[in-house]
Each structure stands twice: as C-alpha cells, then as structure tokens.
Structure 1
Amino acid sequence: MEKDAKQTLGVNKMVKIEILGTGCAKCKSLLKNVEKAVAESGVSAEIFKVDSIQEIMDRGVMMTPALYIDGKSVMMGKTATVEEIKRMLKK
C-alpha cells in the first residue's frame, strides 16, 4: 500500500490520549498503562495529563481517572488495563 493510501485510511494518524485526574494512585496507574499500551501497539500517540479541576468538571467527569481518546470519553472512574487500552486504540 502506498504512503498516500495509508494516510487516507488513517493508518499513520496521530491519536490524542488524555488522562483526566488529580494525580491519585489510580490516575498514575492509568498513565503507566496508557504509555505501555501505546508502546506495545505501535500506535502514534500524544499523551496529555489533565489535572485542572475546572477542566475536569467542565467535561462532566464525575469520577477520576477518566480516559479520553481523540476527544471522546472512553472510560471513567477506573484504571483500564493495558489490554483494554490496546483494544480501544484499535477502534
């Protein structure tokens, strides 16, 4: 497959991953799992930590940590496993 065709299909697309939380143990664990899932899956991703209480509230997050992929909430209130995150990244 040519490079242009891959880009059209989104194969080389950069994924934006956001972890919303105030730095609790679950939030730190989720960050480690996200980093590991990205490394193992080979996905191109930018990972952002959002710890602003105001921004977390503005997004309607009631329980942290929350995980957003490309602007969409995919998990809230628990720490996703590495395997769960890898499955989410494939969607």
Structure 2
Amino acid sequence: MDVTILGHGCKNCDALEARTVEALAGLGRTAEVAHIKDDAQIAAYGVMRTPALVADGRVLVEGQVPTAARLAEILATVPAT
C-alpha cells in the first residue's frame, strides 16, 4: 500500500502522519509513509484542505485528524497489496 500525507508540516499534519503509522501497525500492515509539502503536488490530488491522507492514489481523509482507531477503520477498506 502506498500511503501519503499531504500538508505543509504543521502540527496537524505531523499528528495525522503519526496516527496513520499507529493505525497501520494496529492493522499489521507495513507501508512507507511519504509526506508531500509542495503546494502544486498537493493540488494535483484535488485536495483543498490539509492535512490529507492518500492511500494507493485515493484521498481518504481531508482537512481533519481522525483518531488512530478511526484511521485503522478507514485504512482497512483499502485492499492489502
């Protein structure tokens, strides 16, 4: 699974990244989590509010920082690769 955090490195972006890593670990999945901070690259995903979570090219979360438990629920919908 390809996982990407979109955001400029603010505390919410960092929190989303940390919770995403926690959620993945809870699911027993390993993934390298990339962090894109460039405005043009973020806009290419069609994201208007950061932070955002993208998995396998699909925007799953935008403009919020869900709990690790909620992120695990969301990420569980993405087929393991």
Q: TM-score range by the shorter chain?
A: 0.7 to 0.9
Opposite residue 71 of structure 1, the aligned amino acid is G
Runs of 4+, deviation exceeding 2 Å: none
Partner of residue 32, structure 1: 18
Q: Which has the higher contact order (CA 8 A, sep 6+)?
A: 2
Please name the residue that 2:73 is paired with.
87
Aligned partner letter, 1:41: L
Q: Cα RMSD over matched residues?
A: 1.0
Q: Which stretches in structure 1 are left out of the alignment for 5+ residues?
A: 1-14
The answer to which structure has the higher helix fraction is: 1
Report matched runs for 1:1-91 at 5 Å.
15-91=1-77
Structure 2 residues not aligned, in runs of 5+: none
**Hey, what's the Cα distance between the residues in 2 that align with 1:89 and 1:59?**
18
- TM-aligned CA deviation for residue 44 of structure 1: 2.3
**Over residues 24-74 of structure 1, what are the superposed CA-to-partner deviations in whole Å (9 max), with x where a residue is unaligned?**
111011011011111222112121101111101222211100111111011
Partners of 2:27 and 2:45 in 1: CA distance: 28
Match of 1:7 in 2: none
Query: Which AA in structure 2 matches 1:34?
Result: T
Which structure has the bigger radius of gyration? 1
Q: TM-score, normalised by structure 1?
A: 0.78
Whole-angstrom CA distance in 2 between matches of 1:60 and 1:90 = 23
TM-score (norm 2): 0.87
Aligned length: 77
